[in-house]
Each structure stands twice: as structure tokens, then as C-alpha cells.
Homo-oligomer: A and B are copies of this chain.
Amino acid sequence: MATRIIIVGGVAAGMSAATRLRRLDESAEIVVFERGRHVSFANCGLPYHVGGVIEERSSLLLQTPQSLRSRFALDVRTEQDVTAIDREARTVTARDSRTGTTLTEAYDYLILAMGGTPLQTTPAAGDAPPVVTLRSIEDVDRVTDVLASLPAATAARAVVMGAGFIGLEATENLVRRGLAVTLVQRGAHPLSPLDPEMASPVADELARHGVDLRTGTTVTGLTPTGVTLSDGADITAQLVIDARGIGPAAHLATAAGLRLGPSGGIAVDGHHRTDDPRVFAVGDAAEKTDAVSSEPTLVTMAGLANRHGRAAADVIGWETGHLDAPPAAASPALGTAIVGLFDLTIALVGWSEQRLTAAGRAHRVIHTHPTDHAGYYPGAERMAMKVMVDPDTGLILGAQIVGGRGVDKRIDVIATAMHARLPAVELAQLELAYAPQYASAKDPLNMVGYIADNLASGVTDTLQWHELPAAMAAGATLIDVRSPQEYEGGAIPGSVNIPLDTLRDGVDALPDGDLIVHCQVGQRGHTAARILAQCGRRVRNLDGGYLTWQAGTHATERVGEPASA
């Protein structure tokens, strides 16, 4: 008899499961229930259709129920809200949201792929600007309607709630459409997973494009003309985008008595199986295992959703005799992510320094400011790179990169290295492709590996930007080894300028006590530190140099500013 599989949710995870199941089992009955009007749409493209980058709405619709029927013989039913699971009877009940009729369907296997749901309720008022999320085609249609109804987009104002990935994408695309945007962020800086000094260029980029960023505040209410913030400010807006965090859409699982994990997501084993052996959960509604902590976590990324959907199909395929071997267990989740913001690319993987510190987990930090390709070839762009390393195992715990070209490449290599559990020092050994328009003979990641090696072997000792004030207060002398021109262009208060190339001659004249050296990005500082250390001085190199110190200090100053200027 044909295996009957019901899938709840027809976007990334659900549709990956459905199509893989069909390829494994031509005879299976595969039914997909989707709450919305569309399946398999390009949800990561929605903000870009708002901005007109993706011109055609049809480009977002990757598949239709018809195309999925003809190619994969799938029974895809849209506008069907699955309201209950009877695990004993192995049935689900779905309600047709157009007609209100319900029907009950039996399954042999059930795959839950409901995705995420907003964590916070949207403030509502009668005569107020529309508040729209950016999670479905219907959402985008609504934004398009609102924008079309505005007298002139260039005079229009929007508020975006939440400066996470989608909030930044929404902001960029509304600016692209000519709107004045206020971006409201509860946290101290945009993109909370970043550390403050790494978020500093993000705030700069927003300012450079005229975005009114309000941090440390939230939208508390709607008014007839806009929104009110928790700090008391009133912001005029004709459109409000709700891009605040989402949580797992686990209500259906809860109601069915399936176990949830500590994160609030549906608990699953390494094969995406819930505590009911006939029920799988994948995508944003399901828990993952964190690669850094090995604890259950939530990671809402399309790549993982697709991968886990397919993997659940493999488990079913194996159990029903359509695969010869069981699939491997899921790899722990790294949380690799990337976002474009105007001319900036921001990418991250693993844990931040803040998170490691909060968790009491030992770590070393490395900041660098390499160019994407050889400096002697035109067009090299500088990026800021940060890598966290476990001092005990030497493993990479996380990384953040902010820059332009070449950011995506480096985060992918780091994610691969983390997946493979390569120690950070092994980055030095990677044989990455080099020609001057693509990279440097010593790639930025090779350099991170060398720094990790120098830290691990004690060849160098570094100090973080946020540790500098205490060190100087304790009497350390800060030596700026950059050129006099660089020093005059902007220097750290209290530093003395001794250019690297004259340092050997001036060692004897240095004051007693601890020394800290710094240059622009950290490299000359390293050579300076080596010279001084071999003269018997206790010396640390300011990690990431002036640029990291400056970014961190700006971030600190921004937090100090009143939230509404």
C-alpha cells in the first residue's frame, strides 16, 4: 500500500521534504497543506520586491500547486489551516479558510513545517498607519498597495520595527523607493547578534543613507499620524513594517501534546523526529542543536530549513524501503547568516563575543581589517573581520565580517572550517585561490590563522578595545606606532607616537611599566610588540588597531546619546 505523508507548511522546509519524498518514492501519496495562498515562494526575496529590485511579482512565485502536481505528483492544498492533529488516529484536521469547511486526512507520516510566527503582537489602533510584516506574498502585496496609495513616495515616511536581517533589508528597500525611514531597535545597536564594534559600521551606513536609527527603544503604540516610542518620541509614518523577531509556530504541536524543547521550538532528535515516531518537525518551528554549546537552540535560516526538510524525507524514505542506508544525523547548526545593506555586506557565524562572555565561556578574540584582494590591484575594499577562538580546544567559536566584496566568501570558508572542526590555527594552512583581483597571497583567513597561532604560542599578547581604558588607568603606556601623518589625522587620547621604523632606536627612552602598542589595523603593532617583547618589555598589541578601537568607541558613544536626538 502506498505510504501516505502529510506535510504542514509548503514553503522552504515543507516543499524540500515533499519533492525529495517524491523522488524517493513514486507511489507515495504526498499531501501538502499550506495556510497561505502561495507555496514555495521566495520569502527571502520579499523585501527586494518592495524596493523594486525584483521587478516582477511573478519572480517570487517559484512553484504553484499546478506545477508541483505535474512535475512531482504532489497534492498541494493552499489556504488550508491545519487546526488539529490526532496522533492516535494519525489524522490531521484542516480548515479551508475560504469556505470555512473542515476535512480530516489520515497520514502514515506527518511532517510539521509551519515556520515562524511573530513573537510580539502588533500594536493596533483605529485610524493609524498600516502595520505589515514581510513574511508572505500577501504582505508584500499590501505594502505595494500602501505605497501606491501614498501621494508621493518621496514625501512619505515609514517606521521599521526591528533592525535585524529583515528590518535592515526592509529599510534599504524603502529608502530605495524614496521613503524617509525611521528604524527602531530595542537593542543598543542594529543587528543584535553582532558585537558593538562590528555593528558600528552598520550604524554608519544607515546614517550615510539618511536612515533615522533609534536604538534602545521600542514602538509602544500607534497614533493617527504614526507611532509612539517607549522613550516618548512621536514619529510620523504612513507605513509601519514589523520586522521584529519571530518564534517557532509550535501551537499545533503543543496542542497535539508533542514535546517542546527549552527554546520553545518543537523538540526533535538528530533525524528531525519528534517524540512521536510518526511525526517529524523541520524548519523554523523545530529546534536545532547549537554547534558551539551543543544545546537546543532556534536558528531561523532558509538553508537549514531546506536541508532538514530533505533529511526528514530521507528518514521516511529509509523506513519505507526506498533508501538502502539510514541518512546521517543532522550537523549541529552554526547559524551562518548574511545581509546586504546598501554598499555593505554583513555576515556572521557562530557566537559573538558578547554571547560568549554572557555565557561565561572562555574565548580569544581576533580583529583584522584586510582588503578583499591584493592592495596593489585596483578596487581593493577593506573589511572588518572578527573571529572568536576557544583557548582550550583552539576551535573557532564564531566570526563576524563587515565590508563589501569578499565578505560572503570569507564567512563561507569559516563556516566550512567550523563545520569540519578545524582549529583556528589551521586557517593559516588553507590553500585558498589567489590571483590579485580575487584575494591576497596570504588570504585574510590565512592571516587570522597566523594570529591565532601567535596567540596560542604566546608569540603575541593582545588587548581588546574595551579593555584599553582600564589598562591605561592602571598605568600602561600606549604607543601609537603609525606614521606621524596617521597620528595627526586622529589618535587615541593618551597615546604617544613612535613610528614603527624608529622604534628600535627609542626603546631605551620608553617609560617603565606595561606597554601597549597599536597601529591602524594591528599588523605593524604586532611587529612593534615583538621588538619590545624581545627587549624584555611586557607589551600587548591593541587587537584590530585604531580602526577597531574607533568603531568600538563610536558604538559606546552612540549608546550614551539620547535615543531621540
Contacts and interface: CB of A to CB of B under 8 A. Distances in A.
Nearest to A310: B450
Interface stretch (A141-149, A173-181, A416-424, A508-516): A416-424
Given A26-B535, A70-B501, A408-B438, A336 B376 contact: no
Given A303-B432, A457-B325, A376 B59 contact: yes
A331 B446 CA distance: 13
A358 interface: no
A433 B24 contact: no
A501 B45 contact: no
A286 interface: no
Given A413-B416, A416-B413, A438-B408, A377 B459 contact: no
A535 B331 CA distance: 34
Contacts of A417: 416, 420
Most buried by B among A23, A339, A446: A23
Interface stretch (A115-123, A360-368, A523-531): A523-531
Interface string A406-450: 001101110111011010011011111111111101110010001
A458 B318 CA distance: 13
A458 to B, nearest CB: 7
Nearest to A338: B433
A286 B522 CA distance: 32
Contacts of A434: 44, 301-303, 336-338
Interface string A283-313: 0000000000000000001111111001000
A278 to B, nearest CB: 23
A436 B44 CA distance: 7
Contacts of A443: 303
A55 to B, nearest CB: 8
A408 B72 CA distance: 34
A283 B272 CA distance: 49
B331 A431 contact: yes
Nearest to A26: B534
A303 B377 contact: no
Name the residue among A323, A331, A438, A501 with the largest chain B CB count within 10 angstroms. Answer: A438
Contacts of A441: 12, 44, 302-303, 305-306
Nearest to A334: B431
Nearest to A502: B70
Most chain B C-beta atoms within 10 Å of own C-beta, residue among A24, A411, A412? A412
A340 B437 contact: yes
A12 B442 CA distance: 10
A324 B73 contact: no
A106 interface: no
Contacts of A389: none
Contacts of A439: 338, 408, 412
Contacts of A409: 408-409, 412
A171 to B, nearest CB: 14
Contact of A377 (B45, B306, B328): B45
A526 B23 contact: yes
A489 interface: no
A150 interface: no
A416 B42 CA distance: 30
Contacts of A159: none
A307 B338 contact: no
A527 B349 contact: no
Nearest to A411: B433
A124 interface: no
A500 interface: yes
A188 interface: no
Contact of A530 (B23, B411, B419, B501): B23
Given A70-B501, A416-B417, A428-B307, A376 B338 contact: no
B336 A457 contact: no
A433 B416 CA distance: 10
Contacts of A335: 431
A382 B465 CA distance: 43
B26 A336 contact: no
Contact of A412 (B54, B432, B534): B432
Contact of A436 (B22, B42, B431, B501): B42
Nearest to A405: B405
B459 A323 contact: yes
B306 A438 contact: no
B527 A23 contact: yes
Contacts of A333: 431
10 contacts: A53-B377, A303-B431, A306-B442, A331-B431, A335-B431, A338-B435, A339-B435, A340-B438, A419-B430, A419-B431
Given A304-B431, A338-B434, A419-B426, 8 more contacts: A24-B530, A303-B443, A323-B459, A337-B434, A409-B412, A412-B412, A412-B413, A415-B431
